[in-house]
Amino acid sequence: MFYWFLKWIALGPFLRVIFRPQSSGLHHVPEEGAAILACNHLSYADWLFMPLTLQRRVTFVAKAEYFTSPGIKGFFQKMFFSGVGQVPIDRASGSAAAGAMRSASKILSEGDLFGIFPEGTRSHDGKLYRGKTGVARLALTTGVPVIPVAVVGTDVVAPPGKTFGALTRPSVRFGAPLDFSRYQGLENDRYILRSVTDEIMYEIMRLSGQEYVDMYATKAKEETKKAQAAAKAAAAAAERAALDEELLSSGPDERVS
């Protein structure tokens, strides 16, 4: 109930009036029945704008900590994340990955829409990165179709590292459903999982127009941080070298003064 209150009365109308999000391909999303919505990930605002364009509820999985924090803050945090369509990862199976799979499978078994970001984390530079195979395993295990989705402009609304950026009109594009029933029973074949995932990412790339990088986003972020740190160290070293050279080239009187 709180989900629909936020979507149609509290938060949704505000976002629609301020940002005027546009959408295309809505006819690809079934009016009923389970489906996986596999989306690119440019901003934390993606899981707000993508469901906003649909009449149906879209559910994501989130860290269990968002739902178990104590106190008043924890209560309102739980209310908010539940209200925007997120459910906690079921850690009964031990690992977070297995728990996410259990939670997602339960959502799909109830005939609902499940949203997932195959890249696993937000893109730090606007490029589309290699998808993780969890989306493929989920599709083959449950047998439901995968609908590729591309969000465009959310990284302008809320750039990485910032709460808010600039006003723009985000776009959400839904592609034709992808059927992987031909791979039924092969959900443990890593080559099949990679092939299915790459097919999904190709469709997302085609919809979004992003440059594709065949590297996991987490690794790309680490390499970018290392490169930035190395550049900063090199600049500091160059500055020190220039200062030393200036001191050495100055005369005795200049150094005393």
By three-state DSSP, how is residue 189 classified?
A: coil
**Which of 164, 152, 116, 123 is closest to 23 using CA atoms?**
152
What pLDDT is recorded for position 126?
Answer: 94
What pLDDT is recorded for position 253?
Answer: 57
Distance CA 257, CA 251 (A): 10
| pTM given for the model | 0.85
The burial of 151, by beta-carbon neighbours within 10 Å (0-12 exposed, 13-18 middle, 19 or more buried), is given as buried
Residue-level pLDDT, tens digit, the chain, 257 residues: 677 777 888 888 989 999 999 999 999 999 999 999 999 999 989 988 999 999 999 999 876 676 777 788 777 777 777 776 777 776 665 677 788 888 899 999 999 999 999 999 999 999 999 999 999 999 999 999 999 999 999 999 988 777 788 889 999 999 999 999 999 999 999 999 999 999 999 999 999 999 999 999 999 988 888 888 888 888 888 788 778 777 777 665 554 44
Strand-pairing partners, residue 146, are 36, 178
**Which segments within 113-230 are labelled E, that is strand?**
113-116, 128-129, 146-152, 171-174, 212-213
Say if CB 144 and CB 35 are below 8 A apart.
Answer: yes
